[in-house]
């Protein structure tokens, strides 16, 4: 196991134990620098879904920590992740955010690479005499890449647990939200809302997965409006006695599992499109499973460190500095569903999310104020001890708590502390 | 030109309408702004990523039919929008107004805007082009559709918790 043998200057466990988190973890630039090395440049980072690259030659840019990468679908249909850097002089190879290309030509000296990363044409090759072997100058693949149900992850560290080990139990919950698609496959290729906020990246998963507690306060108006419009019963959001809703999973993942809650999905009119959708779902997974899937609200899921699923979309995020973060909202459509169903999903997404939505902007504003609040250093701790007295240790690892409990936040921070202390290279103890 | 060809719209009249609309939204006079619209079959649209997307297959930043538009206004007036506490100070410049008659009672107007919003210690600049479809009814214009093409609709933008 590759670990950092130097003693850490900061005792990270002390900063996240006893149901509290120290304010420095949100504001200290040195902590942020260490996060890049110990978290972002080490663990599996979510990049994209394969549906965003449907055709050979489709490509998109992403970033892992500070490092630009290029995701490309090759002629052989394989999706590869390369460092987005020309092997010649280190220029950014691909400048476009996304598109389709036959090959990738560096604008600086026109070295050109194939979709599989092979160097096709180093210009004025004769000048290199025999000191240049094309085969030695292919694009550099990121050390590790893997996928789960089309979700593509990569790690810039050569060592560490496999993706399956990293995901562990969270795959059960990824399955739950994807299985609602009649084909079992999702489509993330309908554009992306992009947003920036002045706040630390860790505020986003914390806020995104504890909406049961803050929802009645900052989202009351939007929830009631949504309820009025769709008939969605949100009463369980105002209850806090439903057990096993809040889940912390090994690996720092967090889940709000609503299967035991009274909150049911909105009653939707049985239009021909809805009937076709339900028929396809039943044909794929059987009547009973289809009934279960459509009568419970899918979970909210956070896959450490940067993938969130909420209601209508996959959300990913990118830290820019200790106090700035980019957020990307990718609406999740159902592959193979009637167009009308997916169109309605887009409109439902726009209701809540993105820069002009009615729900998540209130979270973003709260996070910006949170970042200002933690600059005050008197009593420099955040309190995340809700449910500490009644937390349930789960047989397979992780914990379960009641609606509004904060055991999942504590779990994420424990995992974070292990990574930051150099005690873990991402394994899921 | 046939005899029933519509007369060229008056830039002055259209400009006066756009200036008034800009003043109402900059001053957070939401109900008066809503009253500028036709009461049904309207579209308030801010595309995302690109200007010419198919909204049935591609997400927008805003895609409001009249019901959703009313909800947007209701929410802005509710006092619950945290990014409106305190209210942003806003002023926009509207320029480059180019009206075009598209039907006897309908004009399409392109205009450019620069909007400065100031709130919570920061001033932010927004720029782009608006395309209004206006119907002339009872001697005044009503908004049928407004499409706002943000220059930065494909960039990581701050919250857009006001009318654009």
Domain boundaries, chain B: 11-150
- Give residue ranges of A with CB < 8 Å to any B CB: 97, 190-197, 218, 220-222, 225, 229, 326-327, 329, 331, 339, 342-343, 346-347, 349-351, 354-356, 358, 361-362, 364-366, 368
The band of A423, judged by pLDDT with boundaries at 50, 70 and 90, is confident
**Torsion (CA) A193, A35, A158, A328 in degrees, nearest 10:** 0
Look up the pTM and report it: 0.95
- By CA distance, what is A187's nearest residue in B? B57
Percent of chain A topping pLDDT 70: 95
Mutation pick from A97, A188, A190, A191 vs chain B, by most beta carbons of B within 10 Å, is A191
pLDDT digits (tens, 9 = 90+) for B113-162: 999 999 989 999 999 999 999 999 888 999 999 999 999 999 999 999 99
pLDDT digits (tens, 9 = 90+) for B67-108: 999 999 999 999 999 999 999 999 999 999 999 999 999 999
Q: Which of B59, B78, B164 sits opposite A190 (nearest CB)?
A: B59
Inter-chain residue contact B82 with A194, CB threshold 8 Å? no
CB A45 within 8 A of CB A154: yes
Mean pLDDT, rounded, of chain B: 94
pLDDT digits (tens, 9 = 90+) for A332-368: 999 999 999 999 999 999 999 999 999 999 999 999 9
pLDDT for A285 equals 94
pLDDT digits (tens, 9 = 90+) for A240-253: 678 999 999 999 99
**Smallest Cα distance from B38 to chain A, Å:** 21
pLDDT for A238 equals 62
pLDDT digits (tens, 9 = 90+) for A155-203: 999 999 999 999 999 999 999 999 999 999 999 999 999 999 999 999 9
Mutation pick from B115, B156, B163, B164 vs chain A, by most beta carbons of A within 10 Å, is B156
Lowest mean pLDDT among A51-65, A129-143, A238-252, A257-271: A257-271
ipTM of the complex, rounded to two decimals:
0.95
Inter-chain residue contact A331 with B59, CB threshold 8 Å? yes
pLDDT for B150 equals 98
Inter-chain residue contact A346 with B157, CB threshold 8 Å? no
The band of A126, judged by pLDDT with boundaries at 50, 70 and 90, is confident
| Backbone φ, ψ for residue A178 (5° rounding) | -80, -30
Q: Regarding the domain delimited by B11-150, which CATH topology (the fold level of the hierarchy) does it fall under?
A: Nuclear Transport Factor 2; Chain: A, (3.10.450)
pLDDT for A260 equals 85
């Amino acid at each position: 196991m590759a670990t950092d043998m130097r003693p850490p200057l900061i005792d990270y466990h002390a900063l996240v134990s006893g149901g509290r988190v120290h304010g420095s973890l949100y504001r200290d630039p040195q902590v942020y620098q260490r996060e890049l090395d110990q978290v972002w440049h080490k663990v599996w980072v979510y990049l994209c879904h394969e549906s965003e690259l449907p055709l050979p030659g489709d490509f998109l840019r992403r970033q892992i920590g500070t490092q630009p990468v290029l995701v490309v679908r090759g002629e052989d249909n394989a999706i590869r992740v390369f460092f987005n850097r020309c092997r010649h002089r280190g220029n950014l190879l691909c400048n476009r955010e996304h598109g389709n290309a036959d090959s990738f030509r560096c604008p600086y000296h026109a070295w050109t690479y194939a979709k599989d990363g092979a160097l096709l044409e180093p210009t004025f090759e004769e000048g290199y005499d025999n000191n240049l072997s094309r085969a030695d100058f292919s694009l550099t693949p990121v050390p590790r890449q893997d996928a789960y149900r089309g979700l593509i992850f990569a790690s810039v560290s050569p060592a560490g647990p496999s993706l399956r080990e990293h995901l562990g139990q969270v795959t059960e919950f990824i399955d739950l939200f994807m299985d609602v698609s009649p084909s079992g496959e999702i489509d993330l290729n309908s554009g992306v809302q992009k947003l920036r906020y002045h706040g630390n990246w860790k505020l986003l998963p914390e806020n995104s997965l504890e909406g049961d507690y803050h929802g009645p306060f900052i989202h009351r108006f939007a929830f009631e409006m949504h309820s009025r419009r769709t008939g969605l019963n949100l009463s369980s959001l105002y209850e806090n006695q439903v057990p096993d809703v809040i889940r912390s999973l090994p690996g720092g993942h967090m889940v709000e599992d609503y299967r035991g809650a009274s909150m049911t999905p909105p009653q939707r009119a049985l239009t021909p499109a809805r009937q076709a959708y339900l028929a396809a779902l039943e044909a794929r997974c059987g009547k009973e499973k289809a009934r279960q899937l459509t009568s419970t609200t899918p979970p909210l899921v956070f896959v450490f460190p940067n993938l969130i699923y909420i209601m209508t979309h996959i959300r990913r995020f990118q830290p820019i500095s200790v106090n700035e973060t980019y957020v990307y909202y990718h609406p999740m459509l159902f592959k193979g569903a009637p167009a009308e169903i997916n169109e309605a999903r887009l409109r439902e997404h726009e209701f809540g999310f993105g820069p002009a939505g009615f729900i998540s902007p209130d979270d973003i504003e709260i996070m910006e104020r949170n970042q200002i609040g933690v600059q005050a250093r008197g009593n420099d701790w955040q309190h995340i001890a809700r449910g500490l007295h009644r937390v349930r240790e789960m047989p397979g690892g992780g914990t379960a708590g009641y609606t509004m409990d904060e055991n999942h936040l504590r779990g994420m921070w424990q995992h974070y502390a292990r990574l930051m202390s150099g005690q873990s290279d991402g394994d899921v103890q | 030109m046939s005899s029933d060809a519509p007369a060229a719209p008056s830039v002055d009249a259209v400009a006066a309408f756009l200036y008034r609309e800009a003043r109402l939204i900059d001053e957070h006079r939401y109900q008066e702004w809503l009253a500028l619209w036709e009461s049904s079959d309207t579209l308030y649209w801010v595309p995302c990523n690109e200007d010419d997307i198919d909204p049935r297959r591609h997400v927008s930043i805003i895609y409001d039919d009249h019901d959703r538009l009313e909800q947007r206004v209701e929410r802005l007036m509710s006092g619950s929008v945290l990014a409106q506490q305190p209210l942003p100070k806003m002023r926009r410049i509207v320029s480059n107004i180019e009206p075009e008659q598209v039907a006897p009672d309908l004009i399409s107007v392109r205009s450019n805007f620069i909007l400065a919003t100031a709130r919570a210690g920061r001033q932010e600049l927004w720029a782009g082009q608006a395309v209004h479809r206006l119907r002339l009814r009872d001697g005044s214009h009503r908004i049928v559709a407004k499409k706002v093409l943000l220059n930065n609709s494909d960039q990581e933008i701050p919250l857009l918790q006001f009318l654009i």
